Amino acid sequence: MVAVFFFSLALFFLQGLAALPWLIVLLRRPLAENFPFYLKMLGGVTAGGIVFAMLLQSSTDPFIMSLWGRLYASVLTLQIAIDLFVLVFRLMLIFWSKGGAVALAAFQEGVRQPMFWMLTLLGSLFMFISVVIPYFTFGEDLKMVKEISYALTMMFPAIFGVISAGTSVSEEIEGRTAVTLLSKPINRRQFLIGKFMGIMLAGILMTMLMGWSLIWVVLAKIHYDYVPGIYPLPPDPVWLNPWADQTFGRTISGDLAKGIALWLRDTLEAMPGLIIGFGQVMTLIAVSVALATRVPKVVNLSMCLVVYFLGHLTPIMTEVSQGIRLVHFFAQLFELLLPDLDLFDVGTAIVRDVPLDPDRYALYTANVALYAIFYTAIANLVGLILFEDRDVA
């Protein structure tokens, strides 16, 4: 009982520390001037560990304890992720103050839009609905749920990013709002790159929130399909049981720590697919920002839709048009100029009989991320060239 009590206090103290950065930004009360207030807040959160310890005593079932550990770790993960956003914007405002201010304004504008939360909640709802849909895949339903969930975490942030980029940049240029910004000591490069960074970070936030839901959806599907002797639960990692047993023993604290470690394992397993999927989101946002410097938002959305379909179809067109020279020439031209969006499809890594080797999967993820970064840089460079002589007055 004593061990559970102190362990719960330590866990809630960690939650309180993780809440400090985003609370300081949200409440707009500096830490130095309001130290007693935040100290009381930290003490109150830590005291919540007493209630948590009493709650843990109500059921000592190892599965329930592991579930509590996963729930605790999931909340902590969200807090740490939000803290990273606070840190990123803080560094941007210090080292790139003018562009960082534009990025922060674009990020806040995107997150405050009802469309942001509507798409996030709608995508998460679709993922949870996919858990109960029968797929008739003879025991491969989990793979289908994963493929659908990863596709949603790639599609919804892309829709949001393209619409936000086209609307924000185009409306500021066409509505002459950009004149006010550019009349101040902010140049066109800082304006355009700042817009891109703010919208991209909003897309990362949506991907992060939907990825958090994705992990819970996968866990829900595993337990929804569980049938003893037919569809068993996956075994714990081989490294986990010795670590938990030697550190905590077979106790409530040990089962709770095991749940925390399992959530960390689940997060690391989902991370490569989320990174690959966001590569497509980032690429399309860069294309939309570049087009927004010259065309209205309706034309921008139409052109991004064409880029999306051609980016997926061009490799196929190149293969099937080998004997038709003119078609093959244009297919190769499109393949050279447009992004190869097939690289961002994680379905081939999920729907397979033998799981991919983790090292090779990590290497492939790094290569795809580098491709997305390079293409994004090229698209932003093209956008800067198009914006350089654009009349905004």
Distance CA 209, CA 236 (A): 25
What pLDDT, in 10s, does the model give residues 360-375? 888 889 999 999 999 9
Distance CA 199, CA 105 (A): 10
Average pLDDT over residues 140-151: 87
Average pLDDT over residues 125-152: 85
- Phi then psi dihedrals of residue 339, to 5 deg: -70, 145
What is the DSSP track for 217-270? HHHHHHHHS-BTTTBPPPPPPTTHHHHHHHHT-SSHHHHHHHHHHHHHHHHHHH
C-alpha pair distances (Å), 354 with each of 151, 246, 357, 358: 21, 32, 9, 12
What pLDDT, in 10s, does the model give residues 52-70? 888 877 777 777 888 888 9
Start-to-end CA span in the chain (Å): 71
Distance CA 165, CA 285 (A): 7
Closest CA to 351 of 128, 145, 212: 145
At 181 the pLDDT is 63
Could you tell me the two tokens for 283? 């690429």
Average pLDDT over residues 77-88: 94
